[in-house]
Structures are given as structure tokens and as C-alpha cells.
Amino acid sequence: MIPGFSDHRAEIGGTGIAWSIGGAGPPLALLHGFPQTRAMWARIAPELARSHTVVAPDLRGYGESAKPGPVAAYSFREMAGDLTALMAHLGYDRFAVAGHDRGGRVAHRLALDAPRSVTRLCVMDIVPTHTLLSDLHRDVARAYYHWFFLAQPEPFPERMIGRDPDHFFEACLLGWGGARLADFDAAQLAAYRAAWRDPEVIRGMCNDYRATLTHDFADDAADAEARIACPTLVLYGADGVMARAYDVAGTWAGKCREVQAGAIPGGHFFPDTAPGATTAALKAFFG
């Protein structure tokens, strides 16, 4: 899955979690986004493992991790709890975390719910969930239509996607910042395809987005005045939808006590398409 890393799966806090681990040093967790798996870190994690113990799990609903039934089980709070439990299982009560896309939203929730656990935080190519949904721009709604399509009641989106999952999910990979399919590593793309062709993964990803509208928005509204306590890095794709529609750094300024930001060449999926620049930024921040 990730070169030089070992792969594991276990029941953690009552939920089956799959993860890869490698390296030595201070613990650093890496969280993937939609529609990917932990394979997205294959060209980044080995470099970070030169100075850190790197842990890269599949989020619940994705990849090889469990796909619970209830929508409520897919809230960012539940996913953040998975990571806290996994890191405790591995012997770490304090750790750094970086997350892209949905993983970034899980990391944000974790930093609010367990501030003593998170030493440093990096979120990639997102604006805060409550900001996006409460002040939805027309251009964002057009590009990020999948938020609302995937959130429709089961089994409507599952059946439509299931007819040709490669077509749907590859359109997602190519639609948020001008990437080409050739920009994605062939082995990583094969891992994504193997996951998203599974009907249970499709259902899990839909439930992830359903939970955002039914649970995450309310959780974030309740914490509207909360600020992330640890040093925070905000990375975004220079040519992505978020950068075109928002002052990405500005959306996080009031959410963090200490924040820095930087653009990475490419669109939304810059960890895949620009792994070198992404790795350099992460190494500089995490030390």
C-alpha cells in the first residue's frame, strides 16, 4: 500500500480500522480524502517517515476500514474518535496530524474535540465546513455538486454511481482543478479503483456526505467560536476551486490561534499530482 510500511487491520474501539505504519520518531497521522484511500500517501509518507513515525489509516467507510450502517456513524466526530483510539492503541496520546479533503475536516474536528492530543495540524484544500455550507457560492455549488448528490437518501446515489463507478469517481478526480488522469500515479489510481468499485465503499462514501448535512454542520455551528489551539498549516491548490472561490487562508484566520498558509501547484488533488511540493511543505512545518 505504502512502500516500506507495514499494513494492519484491527478492531479499534469497536470499529474495524485498516492502517499502514512506518518510520521512527514523533508520531504523525495522515488522513486521506474522497474518493481515495490511504494509498494517496504512497509518495509522501516514506519521506516523512525519515523523521517521524507515520500512521496512515483508511477512514471508516473508505478502503479497507469498516462500513457501519447508520449515517450518524460517519460524522467527522466519529471519524476523529477512530483516529484518537487508533493512536492510543499504538501508544500515542499526543501526535501531529495532516488531512486532505475529508481527512482535513476530520482533523479539524479532532483538534476541536481533543486539543490536548494534537500537537500540530495541517488541513489541505478545504475551507471550514460551516463556512462552505452557510455561505455557499454559486461557483462552489456547481463544482462541488457531489456534496448534495451523495447526500441524497439511499439507494439513489449508490445505484447511479454503481452503474459505472470509474466514470463517476474519475470525473471527481479531474473536475476540481484541471488535473489529467495521467497526473495520477498508476499504482495509486489502481488502489482507488479497487476500493470505489466495492458497493459497500460507495455506500460508505455517500454516508460520509449524508452525515455532513445531518450532523457535522450542527457540530460546527455549536463550535462556531472555537479556535484550534495548536499551530496550524493551511495548504491549498493554487489552481483549485477553493482558491478561486475563497481567500482560503482568511477563512481559517478566525478558527486558529496560530496559522500559516501556502499554495501548492495544481488543483484540489495536489498531494497526488504534486507530491514533491506537498512533501516539502509538510516537512518544513512538522520539522
Residue 223 falls in the annotated catalytic set: no
Domain residue spans in the chain? 6-286
pLDDT value at 57 more than 80: yes
Residue 150 pLDDT level (bands cut at 50, 70, 90): very high
At 268 the pLDDT is 96
Residue 35 near residue 41 (C-beta atoms within 8 A)? no
Residue 137 pLDDT level (bands cut at 50, 70, 90): confident
Please identify which of the residues 108, 146, 215, 268 carries the catalytic annotation: 268
| Residue percentage of the chain with pLDDT more than 90 | 96
Residue 268 falls in the annotated catalytic set: yes
pLDDT value at 25 more than 80: yes
What's the pTM?
Answer: 0.98
Q: pLDDT, tens digit, for every residue of 227-236?
A: 999 999 999 9
At 135 the pLDDT is 87
Please identify which of the residues 32, 52, 82, 101 carries the catalytic annotation: 101
Task: For residue 214, give the 3-state DSSP assignment.
Answer: helix
At the topology level, CATH places domain 6-286 in Rossmann fold (3.40.50)
What's the rounded Cα separation, in Å, for the pair 21 and 53? 7
| Residue percentage of the chain with pLDDT more than 70 | 99
CB atoms within 10 A of CB 238: 16
Q: pLDDT, tens digit, for every residue of 235-259?
A: 999 999 999 999 999 999 999 999 9
